[in-house]
Structure 1
Amino acid sequence: MLFISKKDIHKIDQKLIQNAVKNAYELVLNNSYNMPDRIHVENEQNTLLLMPCFSNDFFATKLVSVFPDAVKYDQPVVNGVLILADNRSGKPLAIMDGAALTAQRTGAVGGLGVALLTPENLETAGILGAGVQGLSQARYLLLNRRIKKLWIKDLSLASADKMARILKAAFPDVTYVTTDNSEDLVKSSQLIIAATTSRKPLFKDDPSLVKGKTFISIGSFRPDMKEFPDAVISTADHVYADTLFAAKESGDLCIPLENKVV
């Protein structure tokens, strides 16, 4: 059995990962898979997610824990493992670092959103959340668009500054601005990506603030979590979700739907 570590996963070329995720969505379109809705096990504010899936040759189960208070212990909010097995015999083939895999996979989903939904001449963007997921979203954004300025906001300005330094080393031509003000970030950005575990909107519910912009939310995975105000949905020309059950699972979708905002 192979053990594929965090280090191994982060060595893989991001373009290959994004292309693999694109191919996975084509499997979804062709119904070439068997995957139940994601299973949630809640324990107070913490969540265990179980994601089994069968394809023609393999099946896998990803277990991911989301513990928002892990930062207090200098640990990542998201941890997990993925077990890959042969679909003919059931033999386990590999165990992978689930947190690194999730960061790359979710980053690639965001990257596809950027590639398909934003103009090629995109110049400004903002990231809300400077954790592992926010960093991955930024890397895939910069893989797909040659922007001039990237705004970064986090509850910890030190975390935002650290993320800016990491990105500056890899993408030196971009100007990085860290801030503690979400409204300033939204006003200054054509694209806004949220990667937080927030249970309330990160900025005010003002249609004039959000109209004409592109928004990507990857943090809201429970009905009581909501990164964006209703104005993002009510002023949107189009709304896209990577899975149908996200309309029931994500507060950024199910709350506006319940309130008949959309």
Structure 2
Amino acid sequence: MKYISSNDIEDLKIDPITCVEWVKEGFLMKNRSILPPKVSIHPKGIDFFNTMPCLLPAEFHTFGCKIVSRIAGNHPALKSDLMLFNSNTGEMISVMNADWITAMRTGAVAALSINTLRSSSAKIYSFIGLGVIGHSTLDCLLATNCDKKLIIRLKKYKDHAEKTVEKYKDFKNVEFQIVDEIDDLVKDSDVIVSCITEAKDILINDTKLFKQGVLVVPVHTRGFQNCDSIF
């Protein structure tokens, strides 16, 4: 049995395009896999432990179970670990830190969703929540759209928006806009991406700001409560 650290995985230098392709491959084999609903246990408040088992198609002879936790006060708040087993023998193959895997898998799913479901004329992509998941989503979105002109609109929060612009400054096909107000973020947007873990209130009170045909991607469904009331 092997232990694989986060550094071991990061040292592989897996690029975002590969992550998106792997996610797509995973979706295409989902109907041949056994993927029960995750079990969520809350020790207190909004803290949680999510248990996510999956048995891959027979030719892979692999069973995996990922445990994701979010504990208030931890840095980072989200942590995850993954156990892999040989499903033919029951032998544990490895235990690995899954922080990088979780972040990039989440970003790749978001990018694949955007690329698949957006309007063909989409130009303005608005982001709220610019932490690890926000950046992994941008990593995958920008890597898979190098041939398109994108306007990326960012909601200002502390210095996160400015740091994001600096991180992606080498993408010549991207124009960044930073806005102070949530209404300005949403207005005229073709794609709205929320990477907030949890929003306690409705973010957009004036629903007329949502452009007809807009694609809303709530990476964390509790991070964009308008989905409950509108979409």
What's the counterpart of residue 237 of structure 1? none
Q: 8 Å contact 1:82–1:97 — kept in the other structure? A: yes
Per the alignment, residue 150 of structure 2 pairs with 148
CA change 1:90–1:13 in 2 (3 A) is: same
Q: What residue in structure 2 maps to residue 233 of structure 1? A: none
CA contact 2:84–2:92 (8 Å) conserved in 1: yes
Whether 2:64 is the aligned partner of 1:60: answer yes
Q: Any conservation in 2 of the 1:6–1:100 contact (CA below 8 Å)?
A: no
Gap runs ≥5 in structure 2: none
Tell me how far apart the structure 2 counterparts of residues 202 and 208 of structure 1 sit (CA, whole Å): 12
Query: Which AA in structure 1 matches 2:162?
Result: D
> What do you get for the CA RMSD once the two structures are aligned?
2.2
The structural deviation recorded for 1:16 is 1.8
Q: Which of 215, 224, 229 is matched with 1:227 structurally? A: 224
Q: CA deviation at 1:194?
A: 0.6
Identity among equivalent positions (%) equals: 24
Structure-2 change in CA distance of 1:168 and 1:96 (3 Å): farther
- Structure 2 length-normalised TM: 0.85
How far off its partner does 1:136 sit? 0.9
Q: Which has the higher helix share?
A: 1
**TM-score, L = length of structure 1:** 0.76
Deviation at 1:177, TM superposition (A): 2.1
Letter matched to residue 106 of structure 1: T
3-state DSSP of counterpart to 1:168: coil
Instruction: Work out the CA distance in 2 between the residues paired with 1:6 and 1:179.
Output: 35
| CA displacement at 1:131 relative to structure 2 | 0.6
**SS in structure 2 of the partner of residue 184 of structure 1:** helix
Secondary structure of 2:108's aligned partner? helix
Determine whether 1:22 maps to 2:24. Answer: yes
* Secondary structure of residue in 2 paired with 1:107: helix
Q: Kindly tell me: are residues 201 and 139 of structure 1, through their superposed partners in 2, closer, same or farther at Cα, counting changes over 3 Å?
A: farther
Greater Cα shift, 49-58 or 174-183: 174-183
| C-alpha deviation, 1:105, in angstroms | 0.7
The Cα offsets for residues 14-58 of structure 1, whole Å up to 9 and x where unpaired, read as 222211111111122x3x222221111112121111111111210
Distance (whole Å) between structure 1 residues aligned to residue 73 and residue 202 of structure 2:
19
The structure-2 alpha-carbon separation of the partners of 1:203 and 1:77, relative to structure 1 and needing over 3 Å to count, comes to farther
Pair 1:216-2:217 in alignment: yes
- Paired residue total: 222
- Tell me how far 1:119 sits from its aligned partner: 3.9
Instruction: Call closer, same or farther: CA 1:193–1:123 in 2, change over 3 Å.
Output: same
The 8 Å contact of residues 183 and 209 in structure 2, kept in 1 or not, is answered as no
In structure 2, the residue corresponding to 1:133 is in which secondary structure? helix
Bigger RCO (CA 8 Å, 6+ sep): 2
Deviating 4+ runs (over 4 angstroms) = none
2: CA distance between counterparts of 1:64 and 1:97? 10
Q: Tell me which amino acid in the other structure corresponds to 1:201.
A: I
**SS of residue matched to 2:54:** strand
Cα offsets for 1:217-243 (capped at 9, x unmatched): 1112xxxx35142xxxxxxxxxxxxxx
Aligned match of 1:206: 207
